[in-house]
Structure 1
């Protein structure tokens, strides 16, 4: 009887460990995905700033940049003041 109880407790402990590992993996995936989204957003903003500065250097008007890139004129002005 004692051996059966020990085996049952060991099985339940192993089951709990597996559940904990699975939950940890899910949490890690969720956090990694969130971090990836933040990095992608930062990289895309840097790329847009580069595109805007190149367009401004090429003589494209602020109105056209806003129309092409669907951004606010204030953002274009921020990039423009950063260039000068």
Structure 2
């Protein structure tokens, strides 16, 4: 399923962006590209297996959930009694 955003590791977190991915790079941003994220930051994209293991930006996660119509994390946490 295609979404109007792309996940991108940058600045030691996994962010989401609605910037257009360069056509030559497939479905992810190449390294060292400045990307505007859904949380409002401008980050430099990173690549590699380790970068994909960085913590997910909470604000980007919430925004992507809104975009695709998923329940907000705060609602899930409230329901199961946890808080991150």
- Normalising by structure 2, we get a TM-score of 0.20
The structure with the larger Rg is: 1
Which one has a larger percent strand, Structure 1 or Structure 2?
2
